[in-house]
């Protein structure tokens, strides 16, 4: 997406948006360490980017820096938190309470980002009505009635891949605005935002880098004998 | 990383490397559906990229396409699998067997990518020597001896964040070549490759997109009344 800046409107690129959570993470660390001020140079070391890119990124959000002073950590933190919607109190439901659903339900990942899990759903009779992390696991048959009443913003989709599409359609029809999708099926519904998480992709990138690193250490060409790819 | 092409060596950019697992995923789907041939146009629809970018990406790996025929799905699949090291039989250990460690241990994410989990480790006396997914959970005190004997390639790090750095150092000293890091602490050891997974980042990006989408639907400016960021 190209970045265009109008007088009363800034549209920022997906690339910058995707970097924002990292800024938020590093600023959280600085804040936790009691650091009051930072600079584009310091942030560039933390982020592994150039100071100029940092300044450019932060300028997209109204240029919170001051020359000779740098950036106020709490101010920058609050602003990026607000841009990311961390102060919004989103409500989320977890759909699919297998190992991954339960791991997410019991992790601090939601609360730290202003997202509150309000219910867990499953189709498995053995799990329905059992309690996990203080939640009574609900029957998927109750989904529509629940959504109509409680209006969750986000659904965390951790159902088996075969059930991914149908479940996503039900969630969108029930008014869910965003799907955090762990099913490894790429979902692209019209009426809701989706963040597809493909854990396996990062594992494969790691495997690739391990292999490259070993080859470089050995100082040899790749297996095909002619090309290092 | 800039892309430079020498006669006997191709160095490809991180951006292309990061896209490879996605190619692999889509090619797996085509292969599963029995599709024999594909084109840069078809791949571009699946990948959400231009056909020209697809051709450019695939050319980095030796240009497997043929004019008028396109790409052979099995051939492209095998080649990308090989480049990614899926045919390497990497051995992995999972360090930290809390909810996330157990969710990963019981997921198909490893086997599908040629990675074999060989052991699980924890420090918790209540978990040590219990069995999960056919593994007897080992005591972290046994880590070094185990690594010396079994030479695992990859460690999946799912310990609490406070233990992240020390554990990573022990793993690298014990000869582990890659760390798949779920601790939310950015690790950058010298002697091993790391893939830092920050699940929360994608949740925040989703929250941001949900908010943007709502604002666009309302057709109003952002909360500050003047700028949409």
Mean pLDDT by 10 residues, chain B (229 residues): 40 80 90 90 86 86 70 88 85 95 93 92 97 95 98 97 95 97 89 92 92 81 43
Q: What are phi and psi of A45, to 5 degrees?
A: -65, -45
Does one domain contain both B107 and B69?
A: no
Domain endpoint, select from B84, B103, B126: B84
Confidence of residue A17 (pLDDT cuts 50, 70, 90): confident
Does one domain contain both A94 and A191?
A: yes
**Residue B191: per-residue pLDDT:** 87
Domain endpoint, select from B50, B84, B118: B84
CB atoms within 10 A of CB A174: 17
**Residue B21: per-residue pLDDT:** 92
Does one domain contain both A71 and A122?
A: no
Are the beta carbons of A202 and B200 separated by less than 8 Å?
A: no
Does one domain contain both A153 and A103?
A: yes
- Mean per-residue pLDDT of chain A: 86
The three-state secondary structure class of B10 is: strand
Does one domain contain both B78 and B94?
A: no
**Residue A170: per-residue pLDDT:** 97
**Residue A220: per-residue pLDDT:** 53
- The arithmetic mean of pLDDT across residues A19-46, rounded, is 89
Domain count, chain A: 3
Print the domain residue range for B222.
204-229
Does one domain contain both A100 and A151?
A: yes
Does one domain contain both A105 and A192?
A: yes
**Residue B223: per-residue pLDDT:** 46
Nearest CA in chain A to B222: A9
Nearest to A83 by CA among B198, B222, B220: B222
With b meaning 16 or more CB within 10 Å and e meaning fewer, what string describes A68-89? eebbbbeebbbbbbbbbbbebe
Please tell me which residue, B11 or A221, carries the higher pLDDT value.
B11
What pLDDT, in 10s, does the model give residues A39-98? 888 888 888 888 898 888 888 776 666 777 788 898 889 888 888 888 888 999 999 999
The CATH number of residue A18's host domain is 1.10.10.10
Residues 13-72 of B with CB under 8 A from A: 17-18, 20-22, 24-25, 60-62
Domain endpoint, select from B37, B52, B84: B84
In contact, B92 and B156? CB cutoff 8 Å: yes
**Residue A218: per-residue pLDDT:** 82
Q: Residue A148: which region, alpha, beta or left (left: phi > 0; alpha: psi -120 to 50)?
A: alpha
Does one domain contain both A124 and A187?
A: yes
Measured over the CA atoms of residue A87, residue A88, residue A91 and residue A97, the dihedral's sign is: negative
The CATH number of residue B151's host domain is 3.40.50.720
Does one domain contain both B108 and B165?
A: yes
Nearest to A103 by CA among B99, B202, B27: B99
* Residue B223 to residue A29: CA distance in whole angstroms: 27
ipTM: 0.84
Q: What are phi and psi of B221, to 5 degrees?
A: -75, 170
Interface probe, candidates A206, A226, A228, chain B, greatest B C-beta count within 10 A: A206
Does one domain contain both B184 and B220?
A: no
Does one domain contain both B220 and B138?
A: no
What pLDDT, in 10s, does the model give residues A146-198? 999 999 999 999 999 899 999 999 999 999 999 999 998 889 888 899 999 99
Does one domain contain both B193 and B110?
A: yes
Q: At what angle do helices B73-84 and B14-32 cross, to 10 degrees?
A: 140
**Residue A6: per-residue pLDDT:** 37
Which of B25, B100, B201 lies at the smallest CB-CB distance from A198? B25
**Residue B11: per-residue pLDDT:** 66
* Residue A175 to residue A16: CA distance in whole angstroms: 28
Nearest to B73 by CA among B118, B25, B126: B25
């Amino acid at each position: 997406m190209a970045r265009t800046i109008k007088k009363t409107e800034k549209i920022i690129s997906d690339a910058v948006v995707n970097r924002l959570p990292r800024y938020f993470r590093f600023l959280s660390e600085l804040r936790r360490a009691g650091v009051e001020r930072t600079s584009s140079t310091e942030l560039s070391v933390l982020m592994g980017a150039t100071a100029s890119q940092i300044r450019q990124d932060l300028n997209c959000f109204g240029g919170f820096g001051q020359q000779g002073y740098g950036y106020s950590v709490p101010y920058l933190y609050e602003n990026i938190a607000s841009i990311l919607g961390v102060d919004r109190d989103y409500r989320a439901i977890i759909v699919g309470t297998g190992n991954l659903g339960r791991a997410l339900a019991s992790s601090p990942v939601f609360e730290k980002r202003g997202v509150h899990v309000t219910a867990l759903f499953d189709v498995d009779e053995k799990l329905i009505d059992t309690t996990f992390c203080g939640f009574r696991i609900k029957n998927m048959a109750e989904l529509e009635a629940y959504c109509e009443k409680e209006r969750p913003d986000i659904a965390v989709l951790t159902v088996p891949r075969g059930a991914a599409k149908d479940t996503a359609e039900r969630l969108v029809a029930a008014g869910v605005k965003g799907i955090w999708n762990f099913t490894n099926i790429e979902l692209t519904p019209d009426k809701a935002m989706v963040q597809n998480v493909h854990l396996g992709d990062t594992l494969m990138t790691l495997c690739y880098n391990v292999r490259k690193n070993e080859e470089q250490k050995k100082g040899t060409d790749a297996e095909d004998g002619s090309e290092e790819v």
